[in-house]
Structures are given as C-alpha cells and as structure tokens.
C-alpha cells in the first residue's frame, strides 16, 4: 500500500484523537489510539509513536489514584496478562518463576480465558494467588478504571505488564502508577511497534535484538533495559497424536506457524520445499498452521501424498520429536518454534533474509550453531545432508545441547531482576539495522489491515466517524 495513503489514514485518526480528548470524549480518543497503534504494529515503519504516547500520558494524568509507596505490600506481584493464553507465549514461565520465588501473585486476564488455562491454573494449586478477570466487551475506559481499582485494592510492590501492542486501557493504567509502584514490561513483540513507552520502570527483553531496538529505535534509556532469554514451555507427558500419513520409511520435514510468515514475492519458501521434495521420493512435508494456504495447496497438488497441511497441534513437542528436520518459515521465522525443535532434537534449519537480523538471539551462541543460513543453496544442501547423513545429523543434534536457558536459570535471573534490577545477559552490540525487516512488513501491508485496525467491535464508538470503513469490513467478512 502506498506510504502516503497509509499516512493519510493515520493523520485523520490522530486529528480525531486530539478533538475527542479536547471534548472529553475519552472513550473515542482511546479507540482512536488503539486503531493507530494497531496500524503501526502491522505496518511497522516506526517503533514508537510520540503522539500516541503523549495522549496516553495525558489521559493517565487526568485520573486520580489513592495509594502511596508506603502502603505497598512488599511480597505482592500483580501480573497483567492481556492475552489469556495457557502455555502459548511467555506468561506461563513468568508466572511459574514468580510463584517458585515465593511471591503472592495477583493475576489479571480477560474473561474469555475462563476455563481455558488448565496448565496455568495447575501452577496456582496450593499457592497464594488472586485471579481477577476483566471483560473484553467492556469499553477501554471502563477496563482502565477496573484495572486501576484492582491495583489500588491489592497495592502490589511490583507489577508486570504483558500485553498486545495496541492496548490503550492497560497503557493508561500502568502509566498512572509511575513513581508509586515498580513496573516491569515483558516485551513479547520486540520486533515491531507497540504502545506504552511510559508503562514501565524496567523493560525485560528476551534477546539482545529487542534490547537494541528499544534503545536505538524506541529511545528507551539503556539503564531501563534488562535481557532475559526464555525457554519453551513443554508438556513432555502429552501423547503423540500421530501423523496424517504412514511414517514407515519416510523422512519427515516439519514446519509450522501462521502461514503469512511464508509469503514473499519470490515464493522463496515454497521453492525450497519443492526442491527438497524433488530431491528424494521418501521425503514427506508436513505443515501445521492457519492462514492463506493457496501456495501450500498447489504443493499438495504437485506432490500428491507427500505434502500435508494440518491445524496447530497441542502435541507440538511430540510432533517434532518424531520428525527429522524442522524448516523455519520464511521470510519471517518463528523463534519459539526453533526453540521447540532444539528441545525435541528435531534439527531446525533457518534461512535468514540478507541484511535482516530479526531472528538473532533465539539460541545461545547462535552464530556458531550451523543452523542458520543466508544462502538458499547452503540451506538446501544442509537439509539434504541432515536427511541422508546420520553422522552429520547426530553431530548437529549434539551441538544443539545447552543453547537454551534452563528453567532454574530463568527463575534465578527473574528474581535478580525483581530484587536487584540486574541480569547476567548483557547487550554487546552497538548498532542494529532493521531496514530489511521493515521493508518486508511494508510489502505485506494492505488497505484491509487499516480497515481491520479501525472497524472492530471494541471500537464501535468510531462508527459515526468512519461508517464506510465499518461497512467495508463487514462486506469483506461476508465474502470470506
């Protein structure tokens, strides 16, 4: 989509945010903030938006709070989880570490998560935990007020902010407690734009890449940045659900994640898969994930009985454990999927875009792992060798050991961040060029991404301002 056209939509939204704030229509202003933040996230040509941060701060300043630092409960941590996932993402391992370190936990998440988090709630058994739900269907302003009320009630000494890139309710609430409560943000989406530069006293990045983006592109003082790598949350006891084909005598290449991560103009990912399938008749390719699947369907037609597409699986670890090779998506690779593969001893091979570094820091001493490539031919040769040379594959598997932080190391490091505000992992690089990555995001951005950012149920207050966008979104959904 043309850059000027995107800018035009954003400018109009920002003008309305200003008008709404002046006229005290705060709900409409917050809906506008959410819309622009969502566009920034998908378009990703900037990493911060000073205009949005200014209005989040002003809305926060207009709200009264009634607690002081002297009233805080020293051993209480409030954890705000906007996502409400179970083991997906980072919430589970943080909550586990917080509880293992002996803190009283106040856990806040959305009401749609009720009954959907069995693993997280297994952590809460016999622990001192208060669970509070907020309503997704409520207004942004009411969500903000509810969150502030909960914080005032429990008076935590520490708060963790774990949210999506476009959450004005959480951003306003956490911003309001600056100077009162020690606030930590867990930066889940370190590679792209997000809202909330004033929500934290310390930001926890899971790799050096995120720390560099925050320091160099978001303008965050390096003294506020802490790096804590994550480890994948794995259910080792889950039963393997099997393959949708006969495994006997086959070499299995597995891949997965949101399918948009496999799309570029050159169809690079699908050419790689095609080359590998053509190499040996005993190779089978299995993809798990949702999204635009036309090119995957074409592969199924071209290679009948050798290409299979399934939905996401809960037995991901077991699925990888029974596969021979994990092929990372391209042009956007998934860091957590690579970690899962390492833990499952399923050799992960990743093609990195030239000049891009958005996958840096997923593994310890990643550059020496022999698993990452910038040349297609080199990756394909390595994949063929993994599938045919048992000694080569065994050596790679052996070298993969120790490249992911352990659970005990994570828990110790997190407690050091909370108590001492320090961590052992340091940022060593001085500069990061994200041009290639941002160009890829721009290439995939469409006008419909703008419609989806504005025309949402949560933003219904904006219908009068953008009626045709809401109408187009509805029509598009009907056609789908």
Please say whether the dihedral angle defined by the alpha carbons of residues 198, 203, 206 and 207, taken in this order, is positive or negative: positive
Phi, psi of 473 (to 5 degrees): -65, -40
Name 430's Cβ contacts closer than 8 Å, sequence gap at least 6: none
Which residue, among 200, 230, 238, 236, has the nearest Cα to 218 in the 3D structure? Answer: 200
Do residues 66 and 376 touch, judged by C-beta distance below 8 A? no
Q: Output b/e per residue, 73-112; b: 16+ Cβ within 10 A.
A: eeebbbbbbbbbbbbebbbbbbbbbbbbeebbbbbbbbee
Do residues 130 and 107 touch, judged by C-beta distance below 8 A? yes
pLDDT tens, N- to C-terminus, the chain (480 residues): 889 999 999 999 999 999 999 999 999 999 999 999 999 999 999 999 999 999 999 999 999 999 999 999 999 999 999 999 998 889 999 999 999 999 999 999 999 999 999 999 999 998 989 999 999 999 999 999 999 999 999 999 999 999 999 999 999 999 999 999 999 999 999 989 999 999 999 999 999 899 999 999 999 999 999 999 999 888 898 999 999 999 999 999 999 999 989 998 899 999 999 999 999 999 999 999 999 999 999 999 999 999 999 999 989 999 999 999 999 999 888 888 999 999 999 999 999 987 667 677 889 888 889 999 999 999 999 999 999 999 999 999 999 999 999 999 999 999 999 999 998 887 877 788 888 889 888 988 999 999 999 999 999 999 999 999 999 988 887 876
Ranges of H-type helices in 389-446: 390-399, 407-420, 435-444
Q: What is the pLDDT of residues 396-424, one digit of tens each?
A: 999 999 999 999 999 999 999 999 999 88
Do residues 410 and 230 touch, judged by C-beta distance below 8 A? yes
**Which pLDDT belongs to residue 114?**
97
pTM of the full predicted structure?
A: 0.87
Please say whether the dihedral angle defined by the alpha carbons of residues 91, 96, 101 and 104, taken in this order, is positive or negative: positive
Name 276's Cβ contacts closer than 8 Å, sequence gap at least 6: 253, 283, 285, 327, 380, 383, 384, 387
Q: What is the pLDDT of residues 103-146, one digit of tens each?
A: 999 999 999 999 999 999 999 998 989 999 999 999 999 999 99
* The token pair that represents 309 in the structure block: 């597409």
The three-point CA angle 443-449-452 to 5° equals 170
DSSP codes, 89-135: SSHHHHHHHHHHTT-EEEEEEEGGGTT--HHHHHHHTTS-EEEEEE-
Using DSSP, state whether 431 is helix, strand or coil.
coil
The three-point CA angle 448-453-454 to 5° equals 100
Do residues 252 and 243 touch, judged by C-beta distance below 8 A? yes
Do residues 119 and 92 touch, judged by C-beta distance below 8 A? yes
Radius of gyration (C-alpha) of the chain in whole angstroms: 23
Neighbour tally for 201: CB within 10 Å: 16
């Amino acid at each position: 989509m043309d850059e000027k056209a995107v800018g035009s939509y954003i400018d109009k939204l920002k003008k309305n945010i200003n008008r709404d704030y002046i006229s005290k229509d705060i709900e409409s202003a917050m809906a506008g903030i959410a819309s622009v933040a969502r566009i920034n996230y998908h378009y990703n040509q900037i990493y911060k938006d000073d205009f949005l941060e200014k209005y989040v701060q002003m809305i926060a300043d207009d709200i009264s709070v009634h607690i002081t630092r002297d009233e805080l409960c020293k051993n209480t941590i409030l954890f705000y989880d906007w996502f409400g996932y179970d083991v997906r993402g980072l919430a589970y391992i943080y909550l586990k570490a917080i509880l293992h370190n002996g803190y009283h936990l106040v856990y806040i998440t959305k009401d749609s998560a009720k009954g959907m988090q069995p693993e997280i709630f297994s952590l809460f058994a016999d622990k001192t935990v208060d669970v509070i739900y907020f309503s997704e269907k409520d207004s942004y302003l009411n969500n903000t007020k509810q969150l502030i009320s909960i914080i005032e009630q429990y008076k935590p000494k520490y708060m963790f902010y774990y949210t999506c890139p476009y959450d004005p309710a959480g951003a306003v609430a956490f911003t309001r407690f600056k100077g009162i409560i020690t606030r930590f943000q867990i930066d889940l989406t370190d590679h792209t734009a997000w809202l909330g530069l004033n929500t934290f006293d310390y930001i926890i990045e899971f790799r050096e890449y995120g720390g560099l983006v925050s320091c160099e592109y978001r303008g965050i003082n390096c003294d506020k940045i802490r790096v804590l790598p994550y480890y994948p949350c794995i259910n080792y006891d889950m039963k393997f659900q099997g393959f949708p084909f006969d495994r006997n005598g086959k070499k299995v290449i597995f891949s997965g994640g949101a399918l948009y991560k496999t799309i570029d103009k050159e169809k690079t990912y699908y050419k790689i898969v095609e080359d590998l399938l053509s190499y040996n008749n005993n190779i089978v390719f299995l993809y798990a994930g949702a999204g635009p699947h036309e090119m995957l369907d074409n592969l199924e037609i071209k290679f009948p009985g050798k290409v299979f597409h399934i939905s996401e699986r809960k037995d991901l670890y077991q699925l990888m454990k029974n596969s021979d090779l994990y092929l990372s998506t391209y042009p956007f690779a998934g860091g957590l999927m690579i970690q899962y593969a390492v833990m499952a001893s399923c050799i992960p091979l990743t093609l990195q875009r030239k000049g891009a570094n958005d996958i840096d820091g997923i593994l310890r001493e990643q550059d020496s792992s022999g698993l990452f490539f910038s040349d297609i031919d080199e990756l394909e040769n390595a994949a063929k060798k993994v599938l045919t040379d048992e000694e080569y594959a065994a050596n790679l598997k052996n070298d993969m050991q120790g490249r992911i932080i352990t659970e005990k190391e994570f828990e110790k490091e997190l407690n050091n961040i909370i108590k001492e505000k320090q961590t052992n992992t340091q940022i060593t690089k001085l500069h990061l060029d994200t041009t290639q990555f941002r160009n890829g995001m721009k290439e995939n951005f469409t006008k419909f991404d703008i419609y989806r950012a504005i025309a949402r149920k949560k933003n219904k207050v904006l219908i009068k301002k953008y009626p045709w966008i809401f109408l187009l979104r509805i029509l598009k959904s009907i056609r789908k």
